[in-house]
Structure 1
Amino acid sequence: MEVIYCRKALLAVLLTVAITGCSTYAVPRYSVAADNVVTLRAVPNSGISVGAFSQAPIPNQNPNTIMCRGVGPIKTPDGETFADFVRTSLVSELKIAGVYAAGSPVQLTGRLDNIDFSSVSGAWNLGLTVQSSNGRSLSIAEKYEYSSSYFGETACNQTAQALMPAVQDLLGKLVQAPGFPSLLK
């Protein structure tokens, strides 16, 4: 009788561990920011193409996930790198603005210089350098603050949800920067 009880207890513990393993927090798909589109439509250009984006190494992480409080990783919606998430977000903005042209002689490439967050204070820190095929470049940074939580599960979910608007604001700073039109000549 005691052996059966021990086996049942052990099975219950193993099932609990298996079911409650770490969570994965997915960033929502990118949604175009209306202000960015309006700004892009007003910039004189003959079409913009977007090349590859790279990213600086994330210490002790891989390029498409960042661990949050040991609770679980934050990852992009399609498992792409964070740099590719920013790149495809920029392409979406350009397409909706009607200024994206894959074959354009003006091509923008980029480097995600830094990406990190604090789920305790509630802030994403992003740095991006965009280089034009004309030889000019522009570096921008964004500190996007959001509400966080003491509880790890909640804080990590809020952190994942905050990356998309952080990228919107980062791209907004890019397209509204005084030097942005010089990248398109």
Structure 2
Amino acid sequence: MIRKAEKQDGNQASVLIYDAIYDIAHALTGENDKEKVLKQLDRYFSQERNRVSYHNCLVKIVDNNPIGIIVAYAGKDAHNLDEPIRSHVGEITGKEPVLDPEADITDFYIDTLSVNPRFGGQGFGTDLLQSAIDYANAQGYPTVSLNVEETNVKARKLYERLGFSYKKTITINDHEYHYLVKQI
């Protein structure tokens, strides 16, 4: 079953998000220690408005536990959704954080997709992607986008099989990503 995320999913959600975005999670939290990163991701998840808020997430449930997550939102909202994150990181580091733009403003943007490795290969990632695409379509978005690391050939093949195509290369947290878009 796939459902809207709920605040109480935070512990599992933070681990899934961390597993997917690792070094970006460190940048988004201003923390270097994994446990501190996970605690802050859990706090973000429970908040009402930021990029990884439970409001922007769907979860795949198996045996009453979230084993997969997709984080997605309107590209036009990305800058405002990052405000609480920029504020927190600024307080932690004492520096004005720079968060690289990840989405075009016209797209519905899939920020993060993660499935617990124990449940890999069962189509749960595809199901989560399709749920986000269906949601974007119902909301009237003409395109859905996501980023995939240049070296992640397996994921890129999955996305292309689902109709995503290369648009450009962008840099996020000093790593090169292919920005893929699907017309819906």
TM tier relative to shorter chain: under 0.3
Task: Mark the structure with the bigger radius of gyration.
Answer: 1
**TM-score, normalized by length of structure 1?**
0.25
**TM-score, normalized by length of structure 2?**
0.25
Higher share of residues assigned helix: 2
Structure with higher RCO (Cα < 8 A, 6+ apart): 1
